[in-house]
Structure 1
Amino acid sequence: MKREDIAQYSYRYAGNWKAIEQAILKEEENPCYKVYEPYITYLDPEYPEEFRQLDYPPWVLFYRGNIHLLKKRKITIIGSREISARGKYYTRQVCAKLRKDFVLISGLAKGVDALVHESCLQDGQTIAIIGSGLETHYPVCNEKLYQELSQNHLILSEWPGYVRVQRFHFPWRNRLLAALGEKIIVTQAKYKSGTMITVQEALQLGKDVYCLPYPLNEVEGSGCNQLIQEGASLYIEDVFE
């Protein structure tokens, strides 16, 4: 089995993990076409060791930007799409502290994700893991940010470029956000959100999860408070020295 075969299986089956697995096991013949997007596969030495710990490690990672960022120390910072004033303050403070020593990972969504990436543009480094192929720039409001990251930072996707956004992609993508960072920090989350899915993935991987506390009357941070009550660590700057 060659790396080119795996990439072509991904193109044939629109990045469907199970379909690619079956094609590998059966050693299906591939049509003769070239995958033009840069990529790394499970077979490559550049492939992140963090993903090899997953039950379903991505077969292929298509990328734009600096793939060497995968070899640096990394922390994942996540939170709500609808970000509050307190959420903005928390996120900016955390990023200002950690971007000096870590590559910051998030999901290129609105809200907390976008703020994490933006905080690294001038004097940091960041990785975005997205829920579609690289030809789809979603959400549209992050177009300028997408262009900046694809040139000077790194964007990853396990879907071929032509694959559009689908709802089920995001919870599936969240396992990669959980796996890639040494630790996970939640700066804002409600009780029920995609952020909580990522946290559960991180806990299953044995990752440390840190949260910032919110006043009890602020619904926007109710998920953070719940996670702290359930045993997540309170974010303290000195922990990351």
Structure 2
Amino acid sequence: MTKLSVNINKVATLRNSRGGDTPNVLKAAIDVQKFGAQGVTVHPRPDERHIRYQDVFDIRPAITTEFNIEGYPSKEFIDLVLNARPHQVTLVPDPPEALTSNAGWDTVKNLSFLQDVIGKFSDAGIRTSIFIDTDLENIANAVKTNTDRIELYTEPYAEQYSKNKEAAIAPFVEAANLANKIGLKINAGHDLNLENLKFFNEKIPFLKEVSIGHALISDALYIGLERTVQLYKDLLIKEK
């Protein structure tokens, strides 16, 4: 099956809104794994408006599955990742002031920069993934960065899904086919939810991992975290 990595940023956002330690981010990381998630994702930002840098180190010893740290590769972020040693780092081209990730890398313009950053992580034995859209030139050029994986930015798919799901998935299938052909493994994330996830997973049979946070944590408010994790996992089972 495609692996589910749960992004727990929104748990930290709720905690930070009141100060203190409720809800507890470490407990959330432990619980999502206990409930069946195959990974935990965090996306620390410079202003620490949700996940804090200290959270990363607090969570790291509790990871029994896979730890994925997302973020823009500033010097501070690179140092954080090299010290925390996650299983995977996902590089996202969002500036510090961005509300959320909203675009993929231009791998042509940023080729040398990405090669340098990815080289640092590869030397440390950390698997790399770069956040990318469905532009075929960017996909083709991604292999030159020496990244292990790409993470398809799926907000455009989610926005169009209810209007025309076949049209919504088409560019992602084309991009994924190209990536698979040139040897890049494929992750995906952003606005995937209980409504649109199954179709996406079915249409991209070699999808390795999805990272889901906002929708999953929101659903958990209504149906509980354990049940929610299981519902998302059920949608990621590959049909034979």
Please give the TM-score of this superposition, normalised by the length of structure 1: 0.37
Greater Cα radius of gyration, structure 1 or 2:
1
Please give the TM-score of this superposition, normalised by the length of structure 2: 0.37
Higher helix share: 2
